[in-house]
Amino acid sequence: MHVPMSSPDIAEAEINAVTEVLGTQWLSMGPRLAMFEEAFARYVGAKHAVGVNSGTSGLHLAMRAAGIERGAEVITSSFSFIASANCVLYEGGTPVFVDIDPLTGNVAPAAVEAAITERTRALIVIHVFGQPADMDPLFRIVRQHNLWLIEDACEAVGAEYKGRRAGTMSHAAVFAFYPNKQMTTGEGGMIVTDNAAWADLFCSLRNQGRDVFDGWLNHTRLGYNYRLDEMSAALGLVQLQRIDELLAKRTQVASWYNERIDAIPGVEKPYIAETTTRMSWFVYVIRCVGGINRNRLMTFLAGQEVPSRPYFTPIHLQPFYRDQFGWKPGDLPNTEKAGDTFLALPFSSVMTEPQVDYVCQQLAAGVCQQLDEAIVRYWAINTPRYVEGRANVAVPERQTYATQ
C-alpha cells in the first residue's frame, strides 16, 4: 500500500481561487493578500496580521521588531525546526537553548527562568507538534523580567491553551503554511500582533523597507523581499475557510492512530496536557520505549514502504551549532532523549483508515521483531542457569509477537 509521509488537502475551491487570480492583473501585493490577512486576524483573535513568504521570514521580522542585536540573548528550545533558532542569528543575537518537558516536548518554564541573564531580551516559545506550551508560567516569567515573548505557532494554527487560541498569548506570533501543515499556501507564513507599530514595521520590512508614505523606489529602512504573492494568499484564504474541517479530519486520523498504538508494545502515543483544550494535529509522533531502537524501527518501516521521520533532531547537536557554540551531547538530557526516541508516522487530513491500519500493522511487526530478538537473547543468557549443565535440553518452540 502506498502511504505518503504527508499530503496537502486541496479541493476544487482552492484550484478555482488560484486560477481566478491568474486572470487578473494582481499577482503580488493585491486584494487577496489583504483579504487573507484580515480573515486570519479574525480567526486567531489578533488585531493585525501580516502575510510573509514563510514562517522563517516571520520569525526573523519578529526578532527585528524586538530589537535583537549583537550581544542579546534569546531563550528558546532546541527541540524544534532549526528556523526558530536561526532567526536569532540573523540579527546577531545568541540563541540560548533550555531543556523541555519530557512528556509534551515543549519548553520547561523552570528551565527558562534559570537561563535568564542580564543579556536576555526575549523568549521564543514553540508550540511543538500543534500542542501549546504551558503559557501562564511563561508569561509571568517574561513579565517579571521585562522580556519580549514571541510564539512560534508555525505548527499550531487553531490550537488552544485553556480556551485561548495560539497566537494571542504573546507580543507577536508566527504561523507557517508549508504543504505538510494543517493548512497550506504552498510556501507562506503569517505574523499576528496587537501592536499597531509592529504591524506597520512588518509591512515595511517584508517589502524591502518601504513605508506606506514612501515614494516609488524610496526605502526608509533596510528590508527584505518577504512578500506573500496573490496566488498563495488566494489558496490560503480558501484553506482558512475550511480550517475547522481540516482540523477535524486530522483529529480523526489521530484518533485512529491512538486506538491502534495503545495495543502495540514498545511505543507510546502522543501525550496531551490538561491545559491543551484544543490540539491542532500537525504531525503524529510516537515515542519508542522499553528498549525499542527508533532508528532500527525506521529502517524496518522503510523496508515495508512506510515512511517515517525523526522529530526532531535537536538543534544544539546540529553541526553548525556544535561548531559555533560548543554544544555537546548531554547538555540537554530531555531534549536529546526525545530526539533519540520520537518518531513521526505518516499523517495528513486525507489519510484513510486502511492506510492507518497498514502503517500500524507494519509498526507492530517492526516493534515485535526487536522484542523477539530480545527474548532470544534472554534465552541464550539464562537457559544455562536453568539446565545446570545438562546437555541437549530442547528449547520450547516460540511464536513471534508479529504472528500472534
Cite the active site residues: 181
| Residue type present at position 367 | V
Question: Are the beta carbons of 148 and 121 closer than 8 angstroms?
Answer: yes
* Contact yes or no for 32/21 (Cβ under 8 A): yes
Cα separation, 140 vs 142, in Å, equals: 6
Neighbours of 291 (CB within 10 A): 9
385 is written with which cell numbers? 542457569
Q: Collapsing DSSP states into helix, strand and coil, what is residue 172?
A: strand
Question: Is residue 171 within 8 Å of residue 138, measured between CB atoms?
Answer: no
Structure-block grid coordinates of residue 42: 479574525
> Which cell goes with 379?
534465552
Enter the C-alpha cell of residue 271: 501525550
Closest CA to 3 of 400, 351, 404, 365: 351
Q: Roughly how many angstroms between the first and final C-alpha of the chain, as a whole number? A: 22
Query: Is the separation of the CB atoms in 275 and 127 below 8 Å?
Result: no
**Region label for 208, one of left (φ > 0), alpha (ψ between -120 and 50) or beta (otherwise):** left
Separation CA 110–CA 251 (nearest Å): 31
Which grid coordinates belong to 369? 521483531
